Structure 1
Amino acid sequence: MMERIKPNYYDRFTCIADKCTFTCCQEWKIAVDNETNRKWKKKYPPQEVKVQRKNLSAYTTKKDGGRVIRLDEEHKCPFLSENRLCRLVSAYGDSVLSETCTVFPREVHRFETHEEEVLMPCCPAVIDLWAEEENVVFPEVPENGRNLRTMIREKMMEMFRNKEQSIEETLLESFYILLELYQAEQEDTLSEERIENYFSREAVKELKTAILAIDLPFLDTMDECNELLQDLAVNYQKEGLYQDYLTKILPLAEQLSERYDADEMEQKGQDFAKQWEKYRKLLAVFMENELFSDLLMPDGDLESMVIQMQWIAMEYTMIRHSLFLKWMQDGCRDLAYETLRDYLVLITRMTGYEEDDIYEYLENSFDELVWEWGYLSLIVGK
């Protein structure tokens, strides 16, 4: 039997159902697998469902090459009750659910030598787990599954455990190293020794000194993140999704795209940075989880690792910028944990693209698929 590895908090996850602050039964593409759909053709909807159809399958529709539950006019699952519980589970039990509803937010990546189980951060209960866990530990890859790519991933994850520097500094350093190793692979000079050298304490210290000497103006970072957020939100606005959250930040984003007082905004940026730093430990776990779950795909090479790292960095900066806007809208008061959690869930859902879709988005939005370090430093800042 193939070995499965998972983080130490994985088995503690349970769905909090009606207590969830950001339900996955609303504004969410809920996939219905073929086997479930066949079963649903023979089952009738519970009487409590508002719109009665001939069977459960009739509540689904084809989208993006698959079948999903057709949401109602409020973008909710038709089987979601007023008290935020699933009417299907109440009527038929858990066995009636599709694979997506049964598994979410769990995800399994199947490599040739082992399987990796992860929890996705687009569920608020997962964020709560991280906040409660004193020491989050991610597993090591089995010996027969270790290679140069898993070695790079482990080294990068380890960098985010450094409590003495910000997430931003670690992002800048780790992406620089990854680009260098990608270049080495293209030149057929990548080796275990070379990886060790790049991640050595001396090399990282030298890189850190060089990066700290570079001027990365806050306002330039803010302007670029503002444009990225508005671009990312376009389709969700068109479909009327996540409006409870987006309408609280996008008007300010549009306003800042036109004009602002530079000195005032610089000061607000400094004040927000102090609020952001309070959650450094939680954000470091988030980054480590994203690297463990998304950086290395089962059939991935170093180029795909670079692409995934770009997406993770963009995701992080969009979370930060969304919360910067929300913090300003709330009068620059303390950034509450619940606010951070909900916007973290929001952005990870909005960026929860399949690998092919990530490539398509990047190809359509940027001049080059693989970014130069300078562009990532622009959106990450310091």
Structure 2
Amino acid sequence: MLTPDYYNKFTCIADKCPITCCKEWKIAVDADTNRRWKKLLPPDTVPECRKNLSAYTTKKDGQRVIGLDAMHRCPFLDEAKLCRLVSTYGDSVLSETCTTFPREYHTFHDHKEGMLMPCCPAVIDLWRYTLLDFPQVSEPDALFLIRTSIMNLIQDTNISIEEALLESFYILSELAKNVPITIAKVTEYFSPASLAELRAAIHDVELPAADTWMERNELLQDLSVNYIEEGLYAPYLNPLITLAEQFTVPDDERLIDFNKQLHTYDILFRNYVANEIFSDLLMPEDTIDDMLLHLEWIALEYASIRQSLFLLCSAEGANHLSYETVRDYIVILSRMTGYEDADIREYLENSFASPIWDWGYFALVVGK
């Protein structure tokens, strides 16, 4: 199995976790686990004791999940933020979701890949200081070569993350117009000479900063509306959306100050985006059009996180962007945008004139 260098360094921090995965989230229960749970009594310390563990599950959005309590917490989570099931029965009682999180696996026709998701604070802690090392497929086809080339751009500290995303989307769009896609063609598009020419052209494009900030603000509010209505992530979203509703286009001084503060976390954000490229840009059976949709979603996630941090940083009296704030909002926005592939496509189809954006709109969301 191919895994990034950080993969085996992960350790759950359990009761030390600032944003537990046992709260405000759908916790899936697979069929095998549910059958076993029908034969197991709940621990004595579980509130509202029921006849068996399966009685604490429910159906939601077509799948069986653990029914959360009135505070949106797993009923098996105790006051010390530890799992009552593990304390009573051991790790083997857990569902597949609880056992694997925050790990994720993709199985391709000739290999399997494992990665960690940014929905866990302990994962973000692994990405803070050093650029990650991602594995490469031993004999890549053209699509895997595209993925590797984009990750290399994201991790190139000589250009900004925004520049890397703009160049990547342009190249993907051009490749999609010129099928079949060959290794030779991909190599040419990502060659130093081609990138230098593209970089110069993008540099000359006028991107009104005010329009970018307004669009990001609208996207952030749109992504948040359902979670606000359900009362989820309230300590994070309620103050954020209040700020978004009061949003005014920032002046140059505010932008400069924010960009300076954000640059402190440049390595962290490069690792975040590169990990999203590794884990989500290319899925089994994907086409180049699928990769375009996934890159749009990654850009939307990144832009929403940036907008969230800008709003918080610009709030009255907020003159320092702490690591904890950056980490926590990466986690929250990642959970909010962690859609299944079909849901991402549906969202893009319902929200935009075309699910595949033109480069101009992509540039408006990403900015410079």
Q: What is the TM-score normalised by the length of structure 2?
A: 0.98
Structure 2 residue aligned with 1:183, among 177, 180, 189? 177
Structure 2 residue aligned with 1:348, among 334, 341, 359? 334
Q: 1:48 deviation in Å?
A: 1.0
In the alignment, structure 1 segments of 5+ residues that lack a partner are none
Matched, 1:255 2:246: yes
* Residue identity opposite 2:243 in structure 1: L
Distance 1:92 1:54 in 2: 16
Deviations 1:192-222 (A, max 9, x none): 2221111111111111111111121221111
In the alignment, structure 2 segments of 5+ residues that lack a partner are none
Contact persistence 2:107–2:113 (CA under 8 A)? yes
Contact persistence 2:167–2:198 (CA under 8 A)? yes
Matched, 1:225 2:219: no
2:362 aligned partner = 376
1:279 aligned partner = 265
Deviates more, 1:7-16 or 1:134-143: 134-143
1:171 aligned partner = 165
* Residue identity opposite 1:141 in structure 2: V
Contact persistence 2:131–2:155 (CA under 8 A)? no
Deviations 1:120-164 (A, max 9, x none): 0110000101125x3421001132xx2110011111111112111
Matched, 1:334 2:320: yes
Structure 2 residue aligned with 1:120, among 93, 117, 120? 117
Give the superposed CA RMSD: 1.1
Structure 2 residue aligned with 1:301, among 272, 278, 287? 287
* Residue identity opposite 2:161 in structure 1: I
1:142 aligned partner = 138
Distance 1:34 1:319 in 2: 35
| Secondary structure of the corresponding residue to residue 239 of structure 2 | coil
Pair 218,135 (structure 1): closer, same or farther in 2 beyond 3 Å? closer
Q: 1:330 deviation in Å?
A: 5.8
| Secondary structure of the corresponding residue to residue 313 of structure 1 | helix
Contact persistence 1:22–1:124 (CA under 8 A)? yes
How many correspondences in the alignment? Answer: 368
Matched, 1:20 2:17: yes
Contact persistence 1:31–1:100 (CA under 8 A)? yes
Contact persistence 2:131–2:270 (CA under 8 A)? no
* Residue identity opposite 2:218 in structure 1: E
Structure 1 residue aligned with 2:62, among 61, 65, 69? 65
- Which 4+ runs in 1 deviate beyond 6 A? none
| Secondary structure of the corresponding residue to residue 112 of structure 2 | strand
Distance 2:93 2:343 in 1: 30
Percent sequence identity is 55
Deviations 1:162-197 (A, max 9, x none): 111111111111111111111112xx4x32222111
1:10 aligned partner = 7
| Secondary structure of the corresponding residue to residue 212 of structure 2 | helix
Distance 1:279 1:288 in 2: 14
Structure 2 residue aligned with 1:238, among 221, 229, 233? 229
Distance 1:102 1:371 in 2: 37
Q: What is the TM-score normalised by the length of structure 1?
A: 0.94
1:270 aligned partner = 256
Contact persistence 1:219–1:266 (CA under 8 A)? no
